[in-house]
Amino acid sequence: MKNYIRIFFLSAPILFFAGCSSDDVTNNPVIVDPPVVVATDPLTNSNTTTYMVDANATKETVALFYNLKKLAKSKFAIGQQDAFISFYKNSSGESDIKKITGNDPAIIGSDLSFVTDIRNDGTTSNWFYQQEVKNITQIKNAYAKGIINTVSWHLRGPKNKNYSETDKEEYTFYANSMFEADKSIFFRSILPGGTRHEWFKEKLDQVAAFSSKLKGTKGELIPIIFRPFHEFDGSWFWWGADFCTPEEYKTVYKFTVDYLKNTKGVHNILYAFSPDRTYLTSTDYLSRYPGDKYVDVLGMDNYGDFDNQGTTGANTANSKLKIISDLAKTKVKIAALTETGYRVTSSKTPINDWFSNYLYSALTSNSIEVSYVMFWNNDENGYYVPNGSVSNDADFKTFSLKSKSALLNSLPKMYELPK
């Protein structure tokens, strides 16, 4: 989580989360294993489920996996968290991406935090339920346009030690806001047999119910890319590396997938594995990997390498993307930069050519194949994506027009398999 941004739910709640990632920059070299050369593309439109988590996935979900995997050979989809519901300086209307480019984003991020919050009572007057409805509406509107949907989960669990009667954020996902006693036990308590395992199952029941509400105009279930327990290699969330062993993390991840897929019968999800940028080798990256049977998308969240690090940072980020790109080729999975951005505020100015030079280079150098990149959300006080009224508008527009960049206007039909 960006260290200089905090999330508040005060008397006037804010509909966004800060970008998630640490800004600590390592000077250690990134070691890229030699790629395994695949003579022919093993993925076909008739064997796609062979490589997916869910062999019983809906046909639209199968098509999304196939088309995302194929897209990476020539382009990467560009999108943003909360693109339809959160804007720089609250300039509502079209997404900020469309304001500047004239085209809709190719991918939109939503979040389940409001859905599973203990204060969501499911009534129309309830603020948390209202945010759930906004996210459902955003996903439906995106799907109707042909946009890809990805969903993160800032799961609030432990009590916030800083809670007061005027603060709506009684529960937290931030480790530094937790009571010390909760830090060491909370993740382990949701393991099968743990004291809060039934609580966790109830949260997954809510996730399943949410996914069942996502339907297109013909009644078909809308596919989503689900990123549970992201940035687990850091320790800013209560599911981070300091609070569980690799085996404990894998157990909870596997349980999450098995419970949703097998117990609840959810078949419109692709599952994303999404650490932060701390890994330096493929072995590092896979240290908490639950296995190919549980992951569709090999992702990375990375803010720090792009935080005014210039060419050096872009090269470092590219080396890490190269690791997951090569793994995705070998495993026949999807590779993605699942979160990134450089947040501009009144006190933090844009970096020249950040989009068109540094980020584009990181996403395309060394023959990597990345299916999408998602920027974190804009808000009243800052932005990750320009909106047509700021000084780095031209840089983003140049980035969006490059040969490997894809907004919605250059996406194929993502929810149909080619004939």
**Tokens 């085209």 belong to residue:** 103
pLDDT at 387: 96
Residue 161, pLDDT score:
85
Query: What are 292-314's pLDDT values in tens digits?
Result: 999 999 999 999 999 999 999 99
Sign for the CA dihedral angle at 158, 254, 317, 225 comes to: negative
Q: What is the pLDDT of residues 350-361, one digit of tens each?
A: 999 999 999 999
Q: What pLDDT, on the 0 to 100 scale, is given for residue 31?
A: 60
Question: Would you state the pLDDT for residue 158?
Answer: 83
Residues composing the chain: 419
- Residue 1 pLDDT exceeds 50: no
Residue type, 135: N
Residue 26 confidence (pLDDT) above 60: no
pLDDT band at 9 (very low <50, low <70, confident <90, very high): very low
CA 67 to mean position of chain CA atoms? 18
DSSP conformational letter for 120: -
pLDDT in tens, 104-133: 999 999 999 999 999 999 999 999 999 999
Residue 162: per-residue pLDDT: 80
Beta partners for residue 221, in sequence order: 215
DSSP state of 215: B
pLDDT in tens, 309-330: 999 999 999 999 999 999 999 9
Mean per-residue pLDDT of the chain:
92
- Say if strands 107-111 and 148-152 run parallel, antiparallel, or are unpaired: parallel
**Active site members:** 231, 339
What is the model's pLDDT at position 3?
A: 43
What 12-17 contacts at long range (C-beta under 8 Å, 24+ apart), as own/partner pairs, is 13/127, 13/131, 13/168, 14/379, 14/380, 15/82, 15/85, 15/86, 15/131, 15/134, 16/81, 16/82, 16/86, 16/377, 16/378, 16/379, 17/81, 17/111, 17/113, 17/152, 17/154, 17/376, 17/377
- Residue 47 exposure: Cα atoms within 13 Å on the Cβ side: 7
- The pLDDT score that the predictor gives to residue 5 is 39
pLDDT digits (tens, 9 = 90+) for 28-61: 666 655 555 445 889 999 999 999 999 999 999 9
- Whole-number Å distance between alpha carbons of 5 and 19: 8
Using pLDDT thresholds of 50, 70 and 90, give the confidence band for residue 410.
very high
Q: Is 79 helix (H, G, I), strand (E, B) or coil?
A: strand
- Could you tell me the pLDDT band of residue 6, with boundaries at 50, 70 and 90? very low
What's the pLDDT tens digit per position in 126-150?
A: 999 999 999 999 999 999 999 999 9
Helix, strand, coil share of the chain (percent; to 5): 40, 15, 50
Tell me, what's the pLDDT at 181?
Answer: 87
CA distance 327 to 330: 5
pLDDT in the model for residue 393: 98
The full set of domain ranges for the chain reads: 48-410
Distance, C-alpha 405 to centroid of its chain: 19
Instruction: List the one residue out of 245, 243, 329 whose CA is nearest residue 282.
Output: 329
Predicted confidence at residue 164, as pLDDT, reads: 66
Q: Which is the CATH superfamily of the domain at 48-410?
A: Glycosidases (3.20.20.80)
CB 84 within 8 A of CB 406: no
Give the tens place of pLDDT for each residue, 224-277: 999 999 999 999 999 999 999 999 999 999 999 999 999 999 999 999 999 999
